[in-house]
Amino acid sequence: MTADSLADLRAQVADGCRVLAGRGLAPGILGHISLRVDSSRLLVRCRGPRERGLAHSTAEDIRLVDLDGDPGAPGELDHGYTVPFELPLHTAILRRSPDVSCVVHAHPRDVVVADLAGLPILPIVGAFDIPGAALAAGGVPVFPRSALVHTERLGEAVADALGDRPVVVMRGHGLSSTGTSVAEAVLRALSVDTLASLSLAIVSAGGTLQPIAPEDLAELPDLGSALNLSTAWRHELARLG
């Protein structure tokens, strides 16, 4: 991999971090994104010597490490950079799922509140968010522990809970989402957060959560990656200003 291509990937991860923060899914210094580079290395948002939170992530904060958290190239963890405590969450999922390139871990408040209130993520909307409806219809599992995922054993437990689904809710903690790109993983996290927020609003208004009818779900078209990913991601980046 060339230095230019690696620089581009660092910028993509930093953009993803800023989008998460801009949408309120990572409102402080907690949360991180990783991106697979090859069979043994990944880029991950690290803690830096001038930590200011995800909203202020730069490409410099994205460091190359191996699956054990050691530097993936000389100097990658110099100058006070350290890998996230929860790196085992990322590496367990990446080891388990070769088709996954990106792992997002975020702390969206409404996802945490909805889960603690006993509200599952259901396909309660249709054309309002077609990718979100399809994601929810396939099921969003819950990792039932509120622990910091700082060991290989806990990372494997999260990967077990995730299974073959793209997103897992983490009780009293947040969520982890996956994708073939930073854009896909972040947009999936945003969809789950939207569904959780809508669920809380519906219940607060005295309503009952009800999935849309199967025939309506079947009528929702796949609008394609050009709209669902490329255009949606350009919009998220444009919102950053």
- Active site positions, annotated: 86
Beta bridge partners of 62: 45
Closest CA to 165 of 200, 134, 144: 134
Asked if 46 and 78 touch (Cβ cutoff 8 Å), the reply is no
In whole angstroms, how far apart are CA 1 and each of 8, 71, 90, 227? 11, 16, 21, 29
Cα angle 153, 143, 61 (rounded to 5 degrees) comes to 70
CA atoms of 116 and 133, how far apart (whole Å): 21
Nearest to 100 by CA among 157, 45, 177, 175: 177
